[in-house]
Chains A and B, each alone.
Chain A
């Protein structure tokens, strides 16, 4: 079966660093996406990993270990606008995504 786990909620302080973990058990793995979703809005793309290692994009980085079925999203220099849900999604069968339930991040001043 397909299963993706990520923490339900996290809190952090403005300016800090936070790591959101995602573990998965899926068949037909073709990569892992991270999306950001602000309350009442559509998900928007943050990152994609298919090879092991770290992908850095500005304040956001994403890491993947295929052998461990593990990924994390690292957010640096947190800002209030980073308060959102972060969705981990595994790509399987080339074009389809299966999503975790999302991690709601609250950033406090």
Chain B
């Protein structure tokens, strides 16, 4: 069965370190998204991609970057982790163009100390 996975599921890091969160989907979807979820804010879009070599900034992109070298993966990198980036991170994917539902990964809980 097709799926979307994230790793690690839990991560504790220190302020200033670089952290990369992995997202892998086997749906063969063109669209991939990264969100963060915090109490009182709901899900907020960090970055998204419509295909290989395509990346775009979302509403809360400062301090984050992504790269898309193949269809299956969209890793999210925190260049220099800050305590404000402590959150639960969800990756999602959807088919290209149109009002297609997004399928979400299980999430990564990141704590920055």
Contact = CB atoms under 8 A, between A and B. Distances in A.
Interface in B71-101: 90, 94, 96-101
A50 B98 CA distance: 12
A91 B98 CA distance: 10
Nearest to A46: B101
B44 to A, nearest CB: 8
B18 interface: no
B105 A97 contact: no
Contacts, number: 53
Interface residues of B, number: 26
B97 A101 contact: no
Main secondary structure of the interface of A (DSSP, over half): strand
Contacts of B44: 99
Nearest to A85: B42
18 contacts: A30-B99, A31-B99, A42-B90, A43-B43, A87-B43, A89-B43, A91-B99, A95-B48, A95-B96, A95-B97, A96-B58, A97-B43, A99-B35, A99-B43, A100-B42, A101-B40, A101-B42, A102-B42
Interface of A: 30-31, 33, 41-45, 48, 50, 87, 89, 91, 94-102
Interface of B: 31, 33, 35, 40-45, 48, 50, 58, 90, 94, 96-107
